[in-house]
Homo-oligomer: A and B are copies of this chain.
Amino acid sequence: MKPVQTKTSEEVKKELRQYRYSKTIGFVPTMGYLHNGHLSLVEQCKKENDVTVVSIFVNPKQFGPGEDFNIYPRDMARDLKLLEELEVDIVFSPSLVEIYPAGYSTYVEVEKLGDVLCGNSRPGHFRGVATIVLKLFNIVEPTRAYFGQKDAQQAVVIKKMVNDLNLDVVIRIMPIVRDPDGLALSSRNAYLSREERAAALCMPGALQKVRAKILDGLRDVSVVKDMLQREMNKEPLINVDYLEVVSLDGLETLEEIDMHNTLVATAIWVGKTRLIDNFILGEI
């Protein structure tokens, strides 16, 4: 059966009214151009909830000036077909003006957590993320919401927001899904030429290498970072944006690996494309 497609918050709220008091509602917010990473979230959501809602909205507020909002890949027809195959119940695909009407002016800021790593390279990004996620949570009022570990900092920021703002939603973080060559799935992979894609593989390669060393007993963060940097330097087509080793709960710089509370996160530029990847020790 085709998912019920809703385009306004009134429509999706009305559609959800029948389930509100008797069913669990699972929610997967996305920016569309769905890949198997997204679909793994949808599958998990379906397993754990009576009703599954997927939103598709490319959120301008999480793109900085000069970033790729305008060219971000979109393919609603294909997305809807994929969601139909997975038997999603409700799709919410609002317009820009539905979400941000003229004069919109309210923003959510998660201090500190939103300022480091990607927040440092993309000022305002997590403010945009926190704001849209809060709005979508208020519209859908889900029992559980699903995010990918690929965006590890986003997951940490959203969990913090949910906790700080007393929101009643369980945040579920699902593992990174990779292509067979090791590259983490991302809608932005569509930007890569064949050469760029080959070059980008140095990022998961480097992460895998240091992860193995850590599992073998390496604990010194400066050695870990040197090793990551050296691996990245082997590939002339990429530029490192950052490589950081931080605590998973507070995103604070570590000197020593904590096997239960560490995020090793990297971001690189391959030509005009910015890609991120990470691994964690512990749980978000």
* A72 within 8 Å of B (CB atoms): no
| Chain B residues with CB below 8 A from A168, complex form | 13, 138
Instruction: For A164, give the chain B residue with the smallest CB separation.
Output: B106
A106 → chain B closest CB, angstroms: 4
Instruction: For A141, give the chain B residue with the smallest CB separation.
Output: B168
Chain A residues numbered 144-196 whose CB sits less than 8 Å from any CB in chain B: 160-161, 164-168
| Chain B residues with CB below 8 A from A160, complex form | 105-106
Contact of B107 with A166 in the complex, beta carbons under 8 Å: no
Contact of B105 with A135 in the complex, beta carbons under 8 Å: no
| Chain B binder among A42-50, A108-116, A217-225 | A108-116
Highest count of chain B CB atoms <10 Å: which of A9, A108, A111, A113: A108
Highest count of chain B CB atoms <10 Å: which of A106, A110, A130: A106
How big is the A interface, by class?
20 to 34
| Chain B residues with CB below 8 A from A107, complex form | 108-109, 111
Instruction: For A131, give the chain B residue with the smallest CB separation.
Output: B165
* A250 within 8 Å of B (CB atoms): yes
| Chain B residues with CB below 8 A from A164, complex form | 104-106, 135
* A66 within 8 Å of B (CB atoms): no
A165 → chain B closest CB, angstroms: 6
| Chain B residues with CB below 8 A from A105, complex form | 110-113, 160, 164
| Chain B residues with CB below 8 A from A161, complex form | 106
| Chain B residues with CB below 8 A from A139, complex form | 166
Within the complex, which residue of B21, B104, B112 is in contact with A21, where a contact is CB–CB below 8 Å?
Answer: B21
Instruction: For A113, give the chain B residue with the smallest CB separation.
Output: B105
Please name the 10 residue pairs, one residue from A and one from B, whose CB atoms are nearest each other, closest first.
A106-B164, A105-B111, A138-B166, A21-B21, A139-B166, A107-B109, A106-B110, A106-B161, A135-B166, A105-B112
Subset of 13 A-B contacts with CB under 8 Å = A21-B21, A104-B164, A105-B110, A106-B160, A106-B164, A107-B108, A108-B109, A109-B109, A134-B165, A135-B164, A138-B165, A138-B167, A138-B168
Apart from A106-B109, A106-B111, 15 more pairs, CB < 8 Å: A9-B166, A13-B168, A21-B21, A105-B112, A105-B113, A105-B160, A106-B110, A106-B161, A108-B108, A108-B109, A109-B109, A134-B165, A135-B166, A138-B165, A138-B166
